[in-house]
A = this chain, B = another copy of it.
Amino acid sequence: MDTTQRTDQQRSADRRRRELLEAADRVVLRDGPQASMNAIAAEAGITKPILYRHFGDKGGLYAALAKRHTDALLDSLRAALDAPAERRERVEATLDTYLAAIEARPQVYRFLMHPAEGGTATEQGFDVGKHSAPLLRRMGEELAQVIEDRLDLGPESQQLARVWGHGIVGMMHAAGDWWLGERPCSRAELVRCLADLLWGRLAAAGDRVGGPGF
């Protein structure tokens, strides 16, 4: 039970864990969020109980899987957000990075957004949104932090930043989801439209003739 041995064991366990996650990744990429534990175990060349020993339950496995992808996406978003350019350019780069990511791997994106939580009715309480889409929450919080750090918003700075963070992320997400399904325009056009919205063109637009205006 000396240190070296325990390190070896831990390393071995970690490697196994990574292998299992990669197998799970392949299956989820193939079958979508309904991938069964049986299928994942088979893909990894083992049987179910091993999965359960490593990840506790299906939620644990899915959380581990989601964390990998979420971390990766957040890294690219941070890079776009931190680039040395002026505000509008950076906003557009961030939007474009997100949209490029969901465009490149729609199955992964779908898995992250709709984890399809549990079959046997665990969790009874109606804690809305608690387990819904951790990726959206994390993106919202990160963006809120960036906004609060860099913008001067007066006394209610923190509250505004958090609302805006989650709001902007939601805007990006919903628009991206719709765009991915219908492909009504190019990615660049979508980015420009969204940036225009954030830049207040909605308030600035004139009423159409004959109506009371929106």
Q: Tell me the A residues contacting B by CB distance below 8 Å.
A: 31-32, 34, 36, 81, 84, 86-88, 90-91, 102, 106-107, 109-110, 113-114, 116-119, 121, 123-124, 126-130, 132, 136-137, 140, 146-147, 149-153, 159-160, 162-164, 166-175, 177-181, 184-185, 189-190, 193-194, 196-209, 211-214
Closest to A208 in B: B152
CB distance from A35 to the nearest CB of B (A): 8
Q: Which of B163, B175, B201, B207 is the one whose CB lies under 8 Å from A194?
A: B163
What are 21 A-B contacts defined by CB distance under 8 Å? Answer: A31-B124, A84-B212, A107-B126, A113-B132, A127-B181, A128-B177, A129-B180, A129-B181, A130-B181, A132-B177, A140-B178, A151-B205, A151-B208, A152-B206, A152-B209, A160-B196, A162-B184, A167-B171, A168-B171, A170-B171, A198-B200
Determine how many copies of this chain the complex contains. Answer: 2
Chain B residues with Cβ under 8 A from A207's Cβ?
Answer: 150-152
- Asked whether, in the complex, the Cβ of B170 is within 8 Å of the Cβ of A118, the reply is no
- Asked whether, in the complex, the Cβ of A178 is within 8 Å of the Cβ of B129, the reply is yes
Q: Which of B114, B175, B209 is the one whose CB lies under 8 Å from A170?
A: B175
